[in-house]
């Protein structure tokens, strides 16, 4: 059964839905993803970002991220990407190989390379799957460096594969690529650097820095 697309909400719309009592803050999900997450009685989920947020038909849809149109589903679906935790060992070098080949310059996990990658990403109308997956890992690696954390995986359920996450020193979970996928979904130009900056700022606020 196909997943339904998440619908964008403005900050005002989210405020109204919460104020009406239709959606209630889910403390466990909010803590897990370090962002206000609301749930309705019928299982709908609201996630919040810096622009507003999205409403999802179910928790499983939210966890599997985004179901795009049939042409893009295979390219941007992460649900079956990491099926074995041992894949993590190869991702750091494979990611740099793919991105360096795409940009035709040597990249590393530095702010300078991030700026070059960011400029390239904003100039593209479509990102193919190998590059997309590399951007997902790259965003996690850069964020983990800033937080002094680690890139690891979480198991969603017994049937699914793993989902890539960043965990800080207090084992709080971050998924910086969620905003990246939102940009692709909405066909918007966004900054990978800005996404990582926002997640870094969220970490500092939670730590009282």
Do the Cβ atoms of 120 and 191 come closer than 8 Å? no
In a domain, 48, yes or no: yes
Using CA atoms, how far apart are residues 30 and 45, in angstroms rounded to an integer? 11
| Domain encompassing residue 22 | 7-63
Q: Shortest CA distance to 65 belongs to which of 159, 181, 152, 196?
A: 181
Using CA atoms, how far apart are residues 27 and 39, in angstroms rounded to an integer? 10
For the chain, the average pLDDT equals: 84
Q: Flag the least confident range among 63-72, 88-97, 135-144.
A: 63-72
Same domain, 132 and 194: yes
pLDDT at 70 over 60: no
pLDDT at residue 121, as a whole number:
85
- 40-75: buried (b, 16+ CB within 10 Å) or exposed (e) per residue? eeeebbbbbbeebbbbbbeeebbbbbbbbeeebeeb
Same domain, 47 and 74: no
Q: Shortest CA distance to 145 belongs to which of 180, 175, 98, 109?
A: 109
- DSSP E strands, the chain: 7-10, 23-25, 37-40, 45-48, 52-56, 150-155, 162-167, 173-174
Model confidence pTM above 0.75: no
Using CA atoms, how far apart are residues 1 and 155, in angstroms rounded to an integer? 21
Segment 27-45 shows an average pLDDT of: 83
Segment 91-95 shows an average pLDDT of: 96
Picking from 41, 63, 85, the residue at the C-terminal end of a domain is 63
Same domain, 54 and 85: no
């Amino acid at each position: 059964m196909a997943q339904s697309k998440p619908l964008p909400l403005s900050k005002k719309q989210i405020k109204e839905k919460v104020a009406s009592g239709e959606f209630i803050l889910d403390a466990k999900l909010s803590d897990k993803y370090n962002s206000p997450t609301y749930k309705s009685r019928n299982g709908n989920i609201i996630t919040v970002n810096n622009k507003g947020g999205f409403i999802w038909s179910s928790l499983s849809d939210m966890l599997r991220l985004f179901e795009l149109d049939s042409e893009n589903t295979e390219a941007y679906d992460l649900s079956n990407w990491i099926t074995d935790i041992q894949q993590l060992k190869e991702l750091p070098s494979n990611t740099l190989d793919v991105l360096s080949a795409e940009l035709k310059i040597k990249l590393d996990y530095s702010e300078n390379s991030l700026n070059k990658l960011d400029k390239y990403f904003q100039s593209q109308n479509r990102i193919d799957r190998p590059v997309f997956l590399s951007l997902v890992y790259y965003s996690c690696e850069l964020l983990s460096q800033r937080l002094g954390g680690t890139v690891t995986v979480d198991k969603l359920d017994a049937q699914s594969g793993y989902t890539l996450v960043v965990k800080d020193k207090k084992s709080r979970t971050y998924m910086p690529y969620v905003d990246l996928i939102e940009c692709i979904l909405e066909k918007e130009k966004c900054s990978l650097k800005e996404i990582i900056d926002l997640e870094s700022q969220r970490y500092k606020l939670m730590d009282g820095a």
